[in-house]
């Protein structure tokens, strides 16, 4: 299963999800009041030590930082040129620390707990007719649809390659989406046929 969660039983795993999220939000906001690079760099090192304490799989997760590197480097360079290198280190270390801390919460919280903790934020969606139960169903559908869509795409891609010998183009997407929407309607009909909708 695709998941950001690492199973384990550390103190971070045992802490309730909502508490972790509230602490994370507080810490993240607090970081903006920290001036100077030293405390922030110390924070980054501290966070990395927590990763190390969580074990090898946690450390391996650090490679997910790669997509962030270009933007962090650009930010560092822009800051360095504008306000000097101390400001650059401060900004980059603060951002890195924010993400490191947040990823700690993600790694130590199972998806269901996270759902329960975040779902109250989506309560206003009731005005669109999306109550908690519908959101849960939609969530499950997304998780189920993703691998299905990827399989379906791969089939189309292979067929395309076999016929053209080239990389797939965007032309393949339109009929894919048309077929997917028909599939969605069939899924909806089966749900209703099984009494999902209240009459």
Partner 1 sequence: METRELVRISLFAALIAALGLVPRFDLPIAAGVPITAQTLGVMLAGVLLGARLGALSVLLFLFVVACGAPLLAGGRGGVGVFAGPTAGYLVGWIFGAFVAGWAMRALPLRSAFASALIASLLGGVAVVYLFGVPWLAWVAGLDLSRALLAGAAFIPGDALKAIGAAFVAEAYFRTAPRPASSRG
Q: What part of residues 10-69 is at the interface with partner 1 (CB under 8 A)?
A: 21, 24, 28, 64, 66-68
Least distance (Å) between residue 79 CB and partner 1: 7
The answer to whether 100 and 44 have CB atoms below 8 angstroms apart is yes
Q: Which residues ranging from 105 to 144 are in contact with partner 1 (CB under 8 A)?
A: 105-107, 109-111, 114-115, 118, 122, 125, 128-130, 134-135, 137-139, 141-143
Give the span between the Cα atoms of 76 and 90, in whole angstroms: 9
**For partner 1, the closer CB: 163 or 167:** 167
Under the binding rule (CB under 8 A), the answer on residue 171 touching partner 1 is: yes
Q: Which of 30, 165, 174, 199 binds partner 1 (CB under 8 A)?
A: 174
CA separation for the pair 41, 137 (Å, rounded): 42
- Euclidean distance between CA atoms 73 and 68, whole angstroms: 9
Nearer to partner 1, 162 or 170 (CB): 170
Residue range at the interface with partner 1 (CB under 8 A); choices 8-16, 42-50, 51-59, 171-179: 171-179
Please compute, for residue 13, the number of CA atoms within 13 A of its CA located in the half-sphere on the CB side.
Answer: 12
Token pair for residue 106?
């993600």
With respect to partner 1, which residue has the nearer C-beta, 56 or 67?
Answer: 67
Give the list of residues 6+ apart from residue 53 with CB closer than 8 angstroms, or none: 10
Of residues 89-108, those binding partner 1 (CB under 8 A): 90-91, 95, 98-103, 105-107
Q: Tell me if residue 5 falls in helix, strand or coil.
A: coil
């Amino acid at each position: 299963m695709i998941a950001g969660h690492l199973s384990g039983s550390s103190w971070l795993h045992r802490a309730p999800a909502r508490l972790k999220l509230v602490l994370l939000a507080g810490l993240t906001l607090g970081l903006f009041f920290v001036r100077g690079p030293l405390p922030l760099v110390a924070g980054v090192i501290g966070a990395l030590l927590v990763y190390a304490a969580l074990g090898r799989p946690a450390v391996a997760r650090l490679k997910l930082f790669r997509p962030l590197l270009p933007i962090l480097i650009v930010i560092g360079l822009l800051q360095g040129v504008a306000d000097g290198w101390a400001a650059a280190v401060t900004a980059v270390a603060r951002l890195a620390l924010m993400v490191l801390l947040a990823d700690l919460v993600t790694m130590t919280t199972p998806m269901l707990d996270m759902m329960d903790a975040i779902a109250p934020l989506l309560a206003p969606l009731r005005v669109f007719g999306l109550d908690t139960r519908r959101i849960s169903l939609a969530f499950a559908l997304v998780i189920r649809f993703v691998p299905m869509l990827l399989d379906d795409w791969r089939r189309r891609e292979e067929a395309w390659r076999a016929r053209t010998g080239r990389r797939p183009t965007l032309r393949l997407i339109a009929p894919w989406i048309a077929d997917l929407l028909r599939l969605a309607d069939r899924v909806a009909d089966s749900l209703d046929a099984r009494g999902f909708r209240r009459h």
